[in-house]
Amino acid sequence: MLRGTVVCAVLAGLCVIVSLRPASCQLSQEDAESIVVLHNRYRGRVVPSAANMTEVKWDEKLKIIAEGYAVKCVWEHNPDLEEMEMGENLFASNAPFNTNKAMEKWFLEYLDYDYNNNSCLEDKMCGHYTQMVWAKSQYLGCAFHRCDTMEGLALEKVNFLVCNYFPAGNYVAEKPYEEGEWCSMCPETLPQCDQNLCVPSDDVEEETKDSSSPGPELPSTHTATNDTELESASQFPHPTMTDTKETGTELMDREKVKEDQWNGEGQATDRETVRTSEQPQSNVGSVTTSLIAIIGLVALLMLEL
Ligand SMILES: *[C@@H]1O[C@H](CO)[C@@H](O)[C@H](O)[C@H]1NC(C)=O
Ligand SMILES: *[C@@H]1O[C@H](CO)[C@@H](O)[C@H](O)[C@H]1NC(C)=O
Ligand SMILES: *[C@@H]1O[C@H](CO)[C@@H](O)[C@H](O)[C@H]1NC(C)=O
């Protein structure tokens, strides 16, 4: 009887802790919106101009997959990407997380990219950029997780962002988009032009809004919520598995990752190793600690009764 009460009290306390946490480690609605807005802004500003750049839309299924992967805190690509025909950009940093900054970092790779011969400067990474502006990738979903430690990355308290794209970009020998006058070669399904991007015609948009989010047709057997499956899937040999030394400089990418990515694996990685002594979310920790103390006291009081 008493034990039951204690267990209940502890459980209730745990619920409070659990419900306190997500707010601080999930991507906010605002962040999600700005990720989409920034992608579209960048897509509408590529040089040379794009004849068939499409608008990207947020997709809940991609978001859920990204969430399932982000919590794993592994500095490698989701091994299921290929099978799911999905692209992925990763961002890790122990500086305070800023969506605009992360998006800008990816986009600025255009400086090292040459559209004419579709190549990236030696020892540079352009894969985040090309995935961002890949005309065929029309859906996007991202997730954020704060990782105390990360497998494969010698940083602590890492802000980890995972963005998944569908269909995947970065195919070998394919350019991210067709060069030409803006919107001059839009696909039939996206005949209208809005801020340099191919978008559905107004009436189609109305229809799609009504029918509950058609989204991309992802293989339904793969959902990030099935832990068992993800565990087993992560044992698949992964093409980007190579070690690199932690150098402590910004934006160091694994050679092999870069190479594979550039060979069209539809993947890209990024890390930021700016070290800051700041721990912006330490207040969460102290709230949790005091809650545990309170729960402990409550439990003791109940035992006394
Ligand atoms: C691509 O073109 C640029 C500019 O002309 C040149 O500097 C670069 O070496 C070329 N890269 C490849 C791989 O051909
Ligand atoms: C846009 O152009 C690229 C490059 O030519 C092509 O591979 C792709 O199929 C086109 N995308 C769309 C959505 O029409
Ligand atoms: C998860 O996936 C595995 C492997 O495909 C399957 O055996 C298992 O039944 C699934 N579990 C749930 C809860 O769907």
Q: Is 226 in the pocket of ligand 3 (CB under 6 A)?
A: yes
Does the pLDDT value for residue 31 go beyond 50?
A: yes
- Please report which helix (H) or strand (E) contains residue 241, including its range: none
- Who's near 294: CB < 8 A, 6+ residues apart? 13
Instruction: Find, among 44, 159, 170, 166, the residue nearest to 102 by Cα.
Output: 159
Residue type for 263, please? N
Q: Is 220 in the pocket of ligand 3 (CB under 6 A)?
A: no
Torsions phi, psi for 234 (to 5 deg) = -70, -5
Residue indicated by tokens 């859920």: 64
Distances (CA, A) of 254 to 71, 150, 187, 205, 242: 22, 16, 36, 41, 8
Ligand 1 atom 13, closest CA: 119
Q: Is 229 in the pocket of ligand 3 (CB under 6 A)?
A: yes
Q: How far is the CA of 119 from the centre of ligand 1 (A)?
A: 7
pLDDT at 117: 95
CB count within 10 Å of CB 237 equals 6
Instruction: Find, among 36, 56, 59, the residue nearest to 214 by Cα.
Output: 59
Ligand nearest to the CA of 80: 3
Alpha carbons 269 and 77: distance in angstroms, whole number:
8
Residues 74-113: tens digit of each pLDDT: 999 999 998 999 999 999 999 999 999 999 999 999 999 9
Using 50, 70 and 90 to split pLDDT, how confident is the model at 20? very low
Pocket probe mutation, ligand 3, options 84, 220, 223, 228, max atoms within 8 Å of Cβ = 228
CB count within 10 Å of CB 105 equals 18
Residues 197-211: tens digit of each pLDDT: 999 998 765 555 444
272 vs 150, higher pLDDT: 150
Which ligand 2 atom sits nearest the alpha carbon of residue 52? 1
pLDDT at 111: 97
Ligand 2 atom 9, closest CA: 136
- Who's near 130: CB < 8 A, 6+ residues apart? 109, 113, 169, 170, 176, 268
What pTM does this model have? 0.65
